[in-house]
Amino acid sequence: MQRPFPIANAKSATHSNQARPDQFVGQHRCDWYPGHIPKNWDQKLRQSVRTRAATCQTVSEIASELGIEWDVSTSKDIPGGRFTVMVEPNARRAVERGLEILESDQRAADEIKAIDQLICLPSKAVRGPNFENLFDSATDDAERDSWRGFNEDDRRIYPVRDGQLRAVRYDSCRGMEGWTTLCLGLDLFYAQRVAEPLVDEESLQATLRQTMKENYSDAAFAEKLEQAEREYAFHWLMIPLTRSIDHLVVHLHDENSSLGLILKAVSARCPGQIEWVRPDTLLN
């Protein structure tokens, strides 16, 4: 399919130039950097070449609200884009409404097929509804074809049919993209990453001792650890938020959750940038 504009699968600018693991789809990680090859060819891309300008701008405002440096600029060459927040405490209904939005966007763009859309959802390890089962149930009821990237068997093959909806866990969505990207239960996933930050405290402390030397203190370590934990959750939030090309749809299970309050603050500061769809809102 010919795209409306060129798309580059750029590496996320939130990650450092350290060795990057694979897509987090299994227990075993892969280090893509052989030791004998210098890393001077590894370059960050500072401008968004995937996400349309309006959507990218809203994502940048979210980073600003969180107070974390986000050095990705929007591209004037790809105007347009939308950012929608869908509030729906009923997870089954959220999946159904999300699929309706994807179908509506597909009808509105002649060249877009179901396979061009992307659905991201929490794994079963995240407390809350089982979105994987709900997705299967909703697609079965609607007789929709799907590629279930959260399933071990499906993950071994590529999606090959235009009518397949692609669904993956947040843990393995990095590097993927969708014309419209639906982020189900993103507030639940973000809350779990905030509550359970995977930060190597021993390595962090050793590095701080080495760099600060006699100026090292427990207070300095506590401050650095807090910063590392915030950045850990932030990076995991920004990965799904940067998967969209045109329309990003964020589902909130609770609009007063931590992520919900962040999005409300951005919406108040930047009127018109976020469309809010609540349970009593009728979809076209």
Q: What CATH number corresponds to the domain at position 62?
A: 3.40.50.300
**Gap between the Cα atoms of 44 and 46, Å rounded:** 6
Residue 230 lies in a domain: yes
Residue 269: its pLDDT value, please?
A: 95
Residue 19: its pLDDT value, please?
A: 38
Residue 157: its pLDDT value, please?
A: 86
Residue 10 lies in a domain: no
**Gap between the Cα atoms of 284 and 278, Å rounded:** 13
Positions of the chain with pLDDT lower than 50, given as ranges: 1-25
Residue among 244, 259, 280 at smallest CA distance from 118: 244
Residue 38 lies in a domain: no
Residue 221 lies in a domain: yes
Residue 53: its pLDDT value, please?
A: 81
What's the structural domain count of the chain?
Answer: 1
Residue 195: its pLDDT value, please?
A: 92
73-93 in b/e form (b: 16+ CB < 10 A) is ebbeebeebbbbbbbbeebee
**Gap between the Cα atoms of 26 and 231, Å rounded:** 23
Residue 158 lies in a domain: yes
Residue 5 lies in a domain: no
Residue 198 lies in a domain: yes
Amino acid at 158: Y
**Gap between the Cα atoms of 1 and 202, Å rounded:** 49
Domain holding 125, by residue range, is 53-277
**Gap between the Cα atoms of 253 and 95, Å rounded:** 11
**Gap between the Cα atoms of 46 and 146, Å rounded:** 34
**In the numeric block, which tokens belong to residue 277?**
């769809």
Strand partners, 275: 84
Residue 67 lies in a domain: yes
pLDDT in tens, 235-258: 999 999 999 999 999 999 999 999
Residue among 269, 243, 205 at smallest CA distance from 116: 243
Question: Residue 221: which residues within 8 A CB-CB, separation 6 or more?
Answer: 204, 205, 208
**In the numeric block, which tokens belong to residue 89?**
């405490």
Can you spell out the DSSP letters for 101-170?
Answer: HHHHHHHHSTT--GGG-EEEE--TTSSS--HHHHHHHHHHHTT--EEETTSHHHHTS----TTPEEEEEG
Question: Residue 145: which residues within 8 A CB-CB, separation 6 or more?
Answer: 114, 139, 161, 163, 164, 165
Angle at 57 between CA 101 and CA 257, to 5 degrees: 65
